[in-house]
Amino acid sequence: MSDPRTVLVLGGTTEGRAAAAALSGVDGVRVVSSLAGAVRSPRLPDGEVRIGGFGGADGLAAHLRAERVAGVLDATHPFAARMTANAAAACTAAGVPLVVLRRPGWTAGPGDRWHRAASVGEAAAALPALLPGRDGRVLLTTGRGGLASFAPVDAAFWIRAVDPPEPPLPRRHTLLLDRGPFHLDAERALFAEIRPDVLVTKDSGGAATAPKLAVAREREVPVVVVDRPPLPAGVAHAADVDGAVAALLGRLLR
Ligand code: NAP
């Protein structure tokens, strides 16, 4: 019998865990999931796991060769742009097939009051015009990175993140240490307690963190939505776990 073919799943997301579970049921495939090591106690996928960066695109290419990886499924978060760029460069260099799992972004519906921002910095710059002066209240859900942009904004912030963020942070802030999935009733209770004037979010897409958008709509709260970074040119991609797994299995190196 031939050796199993190794698939490297770049994870750190719900989809990464689902892809690892789906691939570990496939005959002749060995799955190794990779996590950045960015959160203190990550949710672990089924099967083998390695943790920590590879050392850039060159480090990842060397890893792919050394581990004889037959295919890479990039299921990182849509905003993990550096990892996705490195995966594209490394897979090209090592001649290994790559499929990026990119769940669709969110779209505004009737009743939504969304303001698109090209970056976290642009989202911070948009806030003063949306707030009723320095008594303004902001629910900030963009995660732990890039919060320095919000430090100069004179408002009361509630910052939701998995682990405590590093300073600089807005002077007046309350940390909400929590991780999704977030459910509609709990989000309604949070909005009722905080009474935010503005919600700030990345356009992460997916169901796990979408209920905040429904509550913002119900309460007519404006939302600043940070646009996702584009995918590297020419990479194969799929919108869901089944599509990504099927696309990769069809392209695995023999
Ligand atoms: P990033 O800026 O694109 O990546 C920074 C560096 O972290 C990469 O260059 C790589 O280091 C390492 N890295 C990232 N993902 C990795 C993985 N799955 N396995 C091994 N190394 C990884 O990424 P980020 O935005 O900091 O996100 C880090 C992780 O958190 C990702 O795995 C992502 O799926 C997850 N996550 C991110 C967000 C978000 O909003 N950005 C939200 C939820 C989950 P080397 O260059 O040394 O290889």
pLDDT digits (tens, 9 = 90+) for 91-130: 999 999 999 999 999 999 999 999 999 999 999 999 999 9
Average pLDDT over residues 11-19: 96
What is the radius of gyration, based on Cα positions, of the chain? 20
CA nearest to 146, candidates 224, 54, 56, 79: 79
Ligand 1 atom closest to the Cα of residue 84 is: 3
* Residue 188 Cα to ligand 1 middle (Å): 30
Q: Name the pLDDT band for 1 (thresholds 50, 70, 90).
A: low
Domain 5-103+230-252, CATH homologous superfamily name and number: NAD(P)-binding Rossmann-like Domain (3.40.50.720)
pLDDT in tens, 167-207: 999 999 999 999 999 999 999 999 999 999 999 999 999 99
- Looking at the chain, the domain(s) classified CATH 3.40.50.720 span 5-103+230-252
Q: What percent of the chain has pLDDT over 70?
A: 100
Q: Give the number of the atom of ligand 1 that is nearest the alpha carbon of residue 83.
A: 3
> Residue of the nearest CA to atom 32 in ligand 1?
12
> Distance (Å, rounded) from C-alpha 154 to C-alpha 164?
21
Pocket of ligand 1 (CB under 6 A): 10-13, 34-36, 38, 53-56, 59-60, 76-77, 79-83, 86, 143, 202
CATH T-level topology, domain 114-226: Rossmann fold (3.40.50)
pLDDT of 216: 98
Nearest CA to ligand 1 atom 30: 12
